[in-house]
Amino acid sequence: MNPTDHIPPVLTLAEAKAQFVHTWGVSGANWGVSKTLAQVHALLLVSPGALSTEDLMEQLKISRGNASMTVRELLDMGLVYKELRPGERREYFIAEKDMLQVTRCIIRVRKRRELDQMKRSLDQLANLPGDPADAEYRAFHATLTDIQQLATVSDKLLTRLMQAERSWFWDKFIKLFT
């Protein structure tokens, strides 16, 4: 009896990939993107080569329209690239595999959606005139200013993280926290 015979792999590679796609899909829903978007991203991340719309439809069992729109959104986010093959009409897609780049894209997209928009509304409100002698006004204004300051700090932190070079900020963080 071969000594490795009795240690069967728990999952085949294909099964592990499928599970990753599933997991990433669930996580995506928690992150505020659609399950399909996360799954398409996951599938492209673990596929060595580029995939066509047809491949995505088939492997994830989604419609052509869904595949088309989702892929376009991933292209907009910068998480996926088009791969054109000479002499072929069909478009292929390949994921950005460098996790530093992926992180940057995700931070950029989420910052825009979650922070920038709020900041714009707050700036407007915080500058409103009011009677500085009115205690209620002062309280309101103080709360708003606090929130604004927080938003500003978060903004700058995220901007730095986004621009970080692997060599500098990133390594610094890894060293600090690993």
Partner DNA sequence: CACAAGTTTCAATAATTATTGAAACTTGTG
Q: What residues make contact with DNA under the rule CB under 7 A?
A: 29, 33-37, 52-54, 61-66, 68-72, 87-91
Q: Among candidates 65, 45, 38, 67, which has minimal Cα distance to 55?
A: 67
When asked if residue 153 is in the footprint of a second copy (CB under 8 A), the reply is yes
Residue selected from 17, 35, 104, 108 as contacting a second copy according to rule CB under 8 A:
17
Check if the beta carbon of residue 40 is closer than 8 Å to that of residue 60: yes
List alpha helices for the chain, DSSP H.
13-30, 35-46, 53-60, 64-77, 99-110, 117-126, 135-163, 171-177
When asked if residue 32 is in the footprint of a second copy (CB under 8 A), the reply is yes
In eight-state DSSP terms, residue 141 is: H
DSSP string covering 47-74, please?
Answer: -SS-EEHHHHHHHHT--HHHHHHHHHHH
When asked if residue 84 is in the footprint of a second copy (CB under 8 A), the reply is no
DSSP SS3 for 134: coil
Which of positions 92-151 make contact with a second copy (CB under 8 A)?
97, 99, 103, 113-114, 117-118, 121-122, 125, 128-130, 134, 136-137, 139-140, 143-144, 146-147, 149-150
Binding site for a second copy (CB under 8 A): 7, 9-11, 13, 16-17, 19-20, 23, 26-27, 30-32, 45-46, 48, 97, 99, 103, 113-114, 117-118, 121-122, 125, 128-130, 134, 136-137, 139-140, 143-144, 146-147, 149-150, 152-153, 156-157, 160, 173-174, 176-178
